[in-house]
Structures are given as structure tokens and as C-alpha cells.
Structure 1
């Protein structure tokens, strides 16, 4: 089927074509659209003329799709589904939002920023069923059929569609006990003389000072881990200095269990909290409802819980 750059047929014609293909009869399909058999036939012929292909093989009793008709049917269904999704999203209400929703997030972030708000979301949208996977492993959301994935930090290049939820300030932190034993670093270069706890395979920390200066320091320590909760426990226990996102370390900073190290410096480059989803489809009403709801709650949570810390950081 050749591509026509100036197609002008309307959605109703596509809907009619799909019904003809489903019913195997132009007349019966025409009745559903309040069209006579002649008018319905003329519409299908006009569609064939505009596409310059034959879509149907007609007999006295029924019609059947040609190979080009099979191709158009696949695309027409996708187009009509996308338009229906768009209409639902643009005009959704609690009554129209329904169906299964599959979401994944890191364990620590999910427990602190998603789990507390799930009951409120489900009360607002009782027709939605939520499958929430909390894991620090990065899953293939396309292969495993996830609607949304919450990701923290810098995103690797991919075909996934990404939406920034909020900023993700990161600082260096340590326990007061560790700093009492080892002393307070005064410059980024002083970190080379301290026990540092990098996440995963990271061996260099990059920082930016309030004066705009940028620094890269190679760090080392006795242990590494890829689970944020374990890392946080070790920092709290006085094992060494670590990098922590505000949403993760905020409660301990406010309670005095942790202290900022090199407070004139922040982890660089800055990162964000993201939601990613698979490409190729319009966002369904239930996905949009969940995304909008959680973005509002996450931003509210960070401002209400950590507004004082953020004000100090920006001063």
C-alpha cells in the first residue's frame, strides 16, 4: 500500500471500514452508521480511490479484505484506539478511569513517596487495580508490560518516554559519630583521606560548589552496595561518608542523625526524579491519572517535609 501525503478521509470512514471488515458486509455496516448500502459503498470506494488501492473483494453475498485491506485494518484499529484513548484522557473523571495499572519503582523511593498515597488514589479511582513492584533492580518495562516506572538520577539513552517529576538534590552526609572520630572535611580533596561509601561501581564523586567551581574526587571504602537502604544504614552507623538524595536522607538530617558534609557543595551534575513509559502508544486515562496524582503528592511531600533543608541549600 503506497503512502499518500494528502489523505483527507475522516475517522467515520475508518470506523465504517473496520465495521465492514468485521461484519463482512457493507450494507449491514452502513445500517449502524445510518447510511444506505449505496452511501456506505460510495464511502468505501472513495477510501480506495484516495489510497489508490483495492481494499475489498466483493461478491454478491459478502466482502473480504484484500492484502492491502488487511494492512489498513491493522492501522485503522490502532488509530481509532489512540483517538479513543485521547478522548478519555482529555475528559476523564473518576467514573471513566478504570482497569489494571502496572507500576515499578525503587524500593526506598516507593516506600517513602508512593506507598503512603496509594490508598488515597484508589479511593479516588475505585475502578483501577494497581500492581506495584518495588525493587532496586532496573526492569525492562516494555518486555514486562509496565505502564510506568519511577527512575531516580540520570537516565541512560533509550527509546522510553521520560517525564520529569521533581528535582533530586543530592548531598554528602555522615553521622555525627563518624565526624567526631575522623574530623570534618574542609575541601573536596580532603575526601581522599576519609572512608567513603560509593554506590555500586562508582569510584569518583563529582561536586559543584556554591561558587560554581566543579570538583572530581576519587573515593574508596571497605564496602560497596547497590541497595539504597543498606547504604543508608551503614552511613547512619558511622561507617563513613556517603552520597544521599534529599528524599532518602531528609528525615535523618532533620533529626540530627546525619549531618551534611561539605555543605557548600552539592553532588554534580544535578539529577531529577523521572517517570518513564513505553513509546508508541497514547497515555491511557488511568496512567495519566496516576502520573498526575503522584507527581502532585511527590512535589508536595518534598516541599512540606524538607522545605527548611532546601531553603538552607539555596541560601
Structure 2
């Protein structure tokens, strides 16, 4: 069996957008042509990949299985193209990247010097903001995003997992008492990031436990959660990379360490839906992926 890479790319975009016509338009295909290409892939595999309605399409169990393999195949193909076509000498130009302020400052900026040494013909412009910017409208080559992604026309590559933990200061736990179960969080002061205080936890693949938390302090800024936890204001939900030093020094303590936080967050490299990826974008994406794979906190 020979996989057509373009058909796999189309299949991947249909699964992300939930619409064959919209996905086909990205490839310059009419809705009919895109549908025929998906049908040909289904006939080649001998399975049904999508359940179709007049409004949307959704992956079947066989489609979910193929999606995992398709991502691996397409990433391997992109890696091969990068290795064959990109050398340090021909990777050049201005690279415009955006990332969240905390993540960019602690996880990207420390590696900037090494990247520029490897690629002296690249100029890197890094825009740090906790606001999600429109990378197409504002002309960015790449966005490094942390969390879960919504469906869009943008293309995303997973760089690493992003484990999250509940933390508190020793002084707060001494004052308010230990947290023994997720339901205990309801009686504690929890620091809410954003407008919702819904936290979901899971232990050993058991049923999810959803808890609505509240407290005296809410904020839209991630670093403010860290500062408030250190002041003993309450319990915060943080990415492990963001609090590792405070945990190691004893200034913070993990709360409910046997539970994982859901949904699982990832670190993504997100780019505009161009079919040709500039070598400088490939180089930076692969550089960061290598750095994050060697980081035990990500």
C-alpha cells in the first residue's frame, strides 16, 4: 500500500476543520474534488474515515487511528525534506515568532544565542504577549502556543507535552490545612486564572473529577498566579516548567500530586496555512523540539 502524502495532508486538515470543502480550498481543490480524494483514500484503505452530515464531518474510530499515523508520516516526510534541503548556509532571512510572555522568557529566550550561532544568516524577532495574536493578519511566521488548540485553518506541530500541577506555599497549607481529595479544593482559596474556575483532575485512569473552585483573587496573567501562590494567597494551577524552581527550593509544595490535570496540554508550533514552509521556520521548529525533548520539566 502506497500512501499519497497530499491525500494524507487533506485528510488531516478535514479532521481539524470538520469540513471537506474548507479543507479542500486550502489545497486549491473544489469541494467535489476534495470529496473524491477522501473517498479514494477510504477505498484504498478499505475503511470509512468520516461520518458525514449536511453540516459537518467527524472522524470514525478508524479515522482516529489513521490520524495518529498520518501525523507521524507527515512529520517524518517534513523532517526528511528539511534534512535534504536546508543547510546552515541557505537558511536565512527575518523570522518573526510570537509566544506567551512567561513561556517565551523562560523556555525560548535562553536558547536564542545558540540558535543564532547555528544560523548566522537569520534575524529573529520574538514578540512576547499573553494575548493570542492573529499570526496571519500580523505577519508572523510562527507562534509557539501552550494548551489546547481550537479548530482553525492554521497548521500545528506538537513540540512537547506540557504537564500541569497544583501548588501552594507551605505557609498557606499550614494555615488552611492539607488537601486530601479533589473535593477538598472547594473549601480552599484557589487562585483562578481567567474567567472560569473549573478544574478537572484524574487519578490512575479513573473517572474524571470536576471541581468548581473559587477564592479571593482572580487574574488574567499567569505570573500573577505564581506571585500570589508565593504570598500564601491560595492554591494555583501552573505548568510544571513555570514552578519547578520554586518546588525545588521548597517555596512551593505540590497539592494532590497523585492526580493529573485535564485536559492534557501540549506545546505547539503553529504556522499559517502555506503549503511551502520557509527553511528558517523549519529550522527554528526543529531546534525548539530538540531542546524541549531534553527538558524533564516539559
TM-score, length of structure 1 as denominator length: 0.67
Cα RMSD, aligned residues only: 1.6
Cα gap change, 1:87 to 1:176, in 2 (>3 Å): closer
Query: Quick check: 1:222 aligned with 2:247?
Result: no
How many residue pairs were aligned?
219
From 200, 209, 218, the equivalent of 1:206 is 200
How much does 1:285 deviate?
0.6
From 119, 140, 144, the equivalent of 2:113 is 119
Distance 1:280 1:286 in 2: 14
Structure 2: runs of 5 or more not aligned: 1-79
From 122, 131, 135, the equivalent of 2:125 is 131
From 138, 144, 148, the equivalent of 2:138 is 144
Structure 1: runs of 5 or more not aligned: 1-85, 311-315
Distance 2:151 2:256 in 1: 32
1:99-248 correspondence to structure 2 within 5 Å: 99-210=93-204, 212-248=206-242
Greater shift, 207-216 or 251-260, is seen at 207-216
Query: Quick check: 1:252 aligned with 2:262?
Result: no
Higher CA-based Rg? 1
Query: Quick check: 1:291 aligned with 2:285?
Result: yes
How much does 1:237 deviate?
1.1
Greater shift, 231-240 or 89-98, is seen at 89-98
TM-score, length of structure 2 as denominator length: 0.71
How much does 1:96 deviate?
0.6
Distance 2:223 2:179 in 1: 25
Distance 2:269 2:126 in 1: 14
The match for 1:273 is: 267
3-state SS in 1 of match to 2:226: helix
How much does 1:90 deviate?
3.3
Distance 1:157 1:242 in 2: 28
The match for 2:61 is: none
CA deviation string 1:114-144 (max 9, x = no partner)? 0000011111111000110011011000000
Answer whether contact 2:82 2:282 (CA < 8 A) is retained. Answer: no
The match for 1:264 is: 258
Distance 1:115 1:87 in 2: 27
How much does 1:93 deviate?
1.0
